Structure 1
Amino acid sequence: MLGLVKSCIGTKFTSQFGDLIADLAIDATRMVGVELGQGLREVDIKKYIKVEKVPGGQLEDSVVLKGVMMNKDVVAPGKMKRKIVNPRIILLDCPLEYKKGENQTNAEILREEDWTVLLKMEEEYIENICAQILKFKPDVVITEKGLSDLACHYLCKAGVSAIRRLRKTDNNRIAKACGAVIVNRPDELQESDVGTGAGLFEVKKIGDEFFTFIVDCKDPKACTILLRGASKDLLNEVERNLQDAMSVARNIIKCPKLVPGGGATELTVSAMLKQKSSSVEGIEKWPYEAAAIAFEAIPRTLAQNCGVNVIRTMTALQGKHANGENAWIGIDGNTGEITDMKERKIWDSYAVKAQAFKTAIEAACLLLRIDDIVSGIKKKQAPGTGPSKPKIDEEGDADNDQLIPE
């Protein structure tokens, strides 16, 4: 698997850092893989793997965190704890503040006592919400919405750290990592909704900003890749390479089948199609021959990129692949030599290769079905001239048309 991911990013910028990016990609995709049963696995790298780029340090400092990291600090930095071991985490999708009126609300107050009653109602509502949350003895409360000063006071008093206005995507990742359930109303909280899978909650300062780490989770199904590097441009380039590497790793985890790279697969398919065409008679053999020639485009392009003699190389390859033999023989992209792909560990994913073949054939069929193109643009006619009659090609004219050379 490492060899396959490395052959994917071998020509990219990060190849100079050895196995670093390939290892990060494989660790992350293995972590978020979920068994669906019957030998199927679901790996959602878009939802459950977050790449956090922090300028500074060296690229070798990049790690896959067994949990989630986000660019947030606790609500009251001086009063709330910034490091908790084995925290109990509650995730909320509701505001911990007094509800404002949906429309413009007018309250007519005649006496001073009425104003006091209004304030007391607000305080009691927030105290009631906080009491429902604190009943489950949490160490960390995280909400996607706002958190009022009064709620912050009650939580501080109970020694609970709180984070507010978190992104929905980050909240989903925390839920997957620590085993918590996101709750919409505090009165619906249950003991099973509390996340106890995290090993450490910590807020660290990196550069000028504070980052919250919920890490060392037991069997996390979401993770964060922390990338360090000298500049933002470098980090952006590394992230693009990492996305490619993770996509390859995901394809292999979902469909663990490999085919040889370096044009070996295409040449084998081409040889088999030529063999098949010799057993078919009449006009039906032409599509087989045309497809066989089309498949040779990949090894031919590889040979051109290597700067070797294309005709000699292709002839030698076709000779080795004749009659469907030597299926592992292909072109080494670095040297242009004809070698065994198994020895050089140059692999392709079967799922990607099969899909590429299907798409290419479907696209060719689509283009062949188009017999004419209708333009929607009307040509401006000179004033006074009537509509021109459509010209109909006769059989004699069609034969006289000039053929476009290939």
Structure 2
Amino acid sequence: MAQNSQQPLIILADGSSRTIGSQATRNNIMAAKLLSNVLRTTLGPRGMDKMLINSIGDVKITNDGYTILKETEPDHPAAQMIVDLAKKQESEYGDGTTTAVVLVGELLKQAEKLFEDGLDTPLIAKGYEAARDKAIDVLDEIAIPATREALIKVARTSMSGKGSFSNLDTMAEQLVDALLDVAEDNKVDSDMIKIRKIHGEGTESTEITQSVTVDKSVVESEMPKDVKNAKIALLQYPLDARELQNDAKIKITTPGEYQDYLDAEEEMLKEEVQKIVDSGANVLFNNKKISDLGQHFLNQAGIMTAKRVKAGDLERLAKATGAKIVNNVRELTSDDIGEAEHVYEREVYEDREYIFIEGCKNPGVLNIIVRGSTKYVTDSLEQAINNAIGAVSRAMAEDKVLPGGGAADIAVSKALRKYANKFDDKEQLAIVAYAQALEELPVALAENAGMDTIDVIVDLLSANETSPNMGVNVIKREVADMQEEGILESQATKVAIIDAATSVSVEILRIDDVIAAKAMTPVGGDMPGTPNPWM
């Protein structure tokens, strides 16, 4: 008689690990909190920097949240969700990554307390989503119009958190005016903005202009280096007979045959250069190689030429000048030629030349040359300008700005506490927890400025009774009217932060089962088994 024996069913591969239930939730929350705490100290103009050292010993110093996350590459799945949030915030809004990550950590910290009080995940998620919707409504109510002066304040506020620059006010004004000039229907095409870095001079030498630069020099010293009323041709075609024929085999048996080959090559290049001349071009930018002989003929024709120009620069040139990028020089016609008032070569620093294209036919192209005494300064200023471009562009598109310095967070928090009273179930606890998480943002600003955080939050809550503009001026270390102090931020960016941080927090809270193909490495500390977000 056969015996029934029940064998265990194994569905996980060797080396796999599984964490379920409340332990999975707590581990994910802890990983997110650890990541948030790393960035918390970088928040605001008084935030600290992080020194990042890669595997080959290169050092980068920054307080930009996205850069820190990108360079350190945390591997914990919950931490990776936050990295994805930072990537989206950076790519779509150009600013607010640190605030978004810190808010995720605070929301999950409050959710952990709610777990301990017996609230279940669906109820917390429902309360958080209701709080988010109310928060976005409040942000819309307290927003003010995005005038030119307001946009300059937004730019200055965004840039002030990335370093101390002596000419911050001037740069903010120049940047806003340039963005307003190149915008079409209040929208800025970020792909048409090029930032180049040159260290060795002070930040006051930073240039913001409606032009295009090409980080190349003219190919021959005797060529024209300054052309007015420029007619511009753009090629992706090698002016080099040997490169075009590199797949062919040429059999030469006598010196005469070799000379015939050279003569044919010369004639071919003459014809190609003549096509450029016939098109009316007096300036040529080519993405491909140009042989010495080709350069000689272009020089004879008096055509200012740059070779191996990057594809991105060609696209910007096409947008700015109205030229068409041509892939075969024999198809080039006068209809493909673009226009600019002035094209010239200029030394930008110690035998380093750029070609500048100014007075372009079409608006919408912005050129920024960032200057700084060291690589660290230029990197910081580049990040500051990128953040400001993102914040200002979004504020222009939505025509709305908010008081900064945590004022909007406190206004929303107070509104949420009143809103929670409308609920007669435990959902109100989740809404109050959301309000408490928002209050931690100005607290973090004050903490990084060395202020007494208890006094600050009490003063903020009290002052906000009369005005939604009251926030933390961390430079002066006081609670003040942010609109009067000129501390403003983009309303669209703040809405994106609130929306994204809520969505990621709820996603993390809903996870109750983590199955990993390889075991996740815990670290020691106050809580044994706490996940390391970088493992």
Q: In structure 2, what is the equivalent of residue 186 of structure 1?
A: 329
Q: 1:299 to 1:160 in 2, by over 3 A?
A: closer
In the aligned structure 2, how far is the partner of 1:254 from the partner of 1:331? 27
Residue 91 of structure 1, CA deviation:
0.9
The one of 153, 156, 164 aligned to 1:6: 156
Give the drift of 1:116: 4.1
Structure 2 counterpart of 1:370, one-letter code: I
Q: Within 2, Cα distance between the matches of 1:285 and 1:54?
A: 54
Could you tell me how far apart the structure 1 residues matched to 2:247 and 2:449 are?
72
Aligned mates of 1:61, 1:232 — CA distance in 2: 15
Q: Retained in 2: the 8 A contact 1:29–1:43?
A: no
Q: CA offset at residue 253 of structure 1?
A: 2.6
The code of the aligned residue for 2:495 comes to: A
Residue 147 of structure 2 is matched in structure 1 by none
- 1:387 corresponds in structure 2 to none
Q: How does 1:53-132 map to 2 (within 5 A)?
A: 53-78=197-222, 80-100=223-243, 105-110=248-253, 113-132=256-275
Partner in structure 2 of residue 200 of structure 1? 342
Asked if structure 1 preserves the Cα contact closer than 8 Å seen for 2:403 and 2:482, the reply is yes
| Paired position in structure 2 for 1:327 | 468
Q: Give unpaired runs (5+ residues) of structure 2.
A: 1-150, 521-535
- Contact map agreement 1:43 1:254 (CA 8 A) in 2: no
Cα 1:282/1:226, change in 2 over 3 Å: closer
Structure 2 equivalent of residue 358 of structure 1: 499
Of 43, 62, 73, which residue of structure 1 is paired with 2:189?
43
Q: Does 1:166 align with 2:309?
A: yes
DSSP 3-state at the match of 2:428: helix
| SS of residue matched to 2:360 | coil
TM-score by length of 2: 0.63
How far off its partner does 1:307 sit? 4.0
| Structure 1 residue identity aligned to 2:157 | S
Note if contact 2:409-2:438 (Cα within 8 Å) is conserved in structure 1: yes
Q: Is the 8 A contact 1:58 1:229 kept in 2?
A: yes
With normalisation by structure 1, the TM-score equals: 0.81
User: In the aligned structure 2, how far is the partner of 1:230 from the partner of 1:276?
Assistant: 51
Q: Which deviations, in whole Å up to 9, do the C-alpha atoms of 1:367-402 show, x marking residues without a partner?
A: 2212243455579xxxxxxxxxxxxxxxxxxxxxxx
List gaps (5 residues or longer) in structure 1. 380-406
CA distance in 2, matches of 1:100, 1:317: 69
Q: How far off is 1:3 after superposition? A: 1.1
Would the aligned equivalents of 1:303 and 1:310 in 2 still touch at CA under 8 Å?
yes
Query: 1 CA distance for matches of 2:425 and 2:373?
Result: 65
Change (3 A) 1:311 1:163: closer
Structure 2 CA distance for aligned equivalents of residues 230 and 377 of structure 1: 46
**Distance in 1, Cα, partners of 2:498 & 2:486:** 22
**Aligned match of 1:26:** 176
Tell me the residue number matched to 2:277.
134
- Cα offset for 1:103? 6.8
Q: Which has the higher contact order (CA 8 A, sep 6+)?
A: 2
Q: Distance in 2 between matches of 1:377 and 1:227?
A: 45
Residue pairs, 1:249-398, within 5 angstroms:
249-321=392-464, 326-374=467-515, 376-377=517-518
Of 143, 146, 166, which aligns to 1:16?
Answer: 166
- Greater shift, 84-93 or 212-221, is seen at 212-221
**Per-residue displacement from partner, 1:77-130 (whole Å, max 9, x unpaired)?**
12x111111111111111112154777543334555544443333233222222
CA RMSD of aligned residues (A): 2.7
Partner amino acid, structure 2, of 1:249: V
- TM alignment of 1:226-245, pairs within 5 A: 226-245=369-388
Q: Residue 14 of structure 1 contacts residue 21 of structure 1 at CA under 8 Å; is this kept in 2?
A: no
Give 1:334's aligned amino acid. I
In our comparison, the structure showing a higher alpha carbon Rg is: 1
- Indicate the SS of the match to 2:338: coil
* SS of the residue 1:86 aligns to: strand
Give the Cα separation in 2 of the matches to 1:143 and 1:21.
Answer: 33
Q: Does the 8 Å CA contact 1:145/1:164 hold for their aligned counterparts?
A: yes
Moved more, 339-348 or 8-17: 8-17
* CA deviation map 1:289-336 (0-9, x unaligned): 2222222212332343344443344334334446xx632222322344
Counterpart of 2:218, as a letter, is: V
1:159 is displaced (CA, Å) by 1.9
Residues 35-56 of structure 1: CA deviation (Å, up to 9, x unaligned): 3xxx562421xx3222333344
Separation in 2 of the partners of 1:204 and 1:50? 17
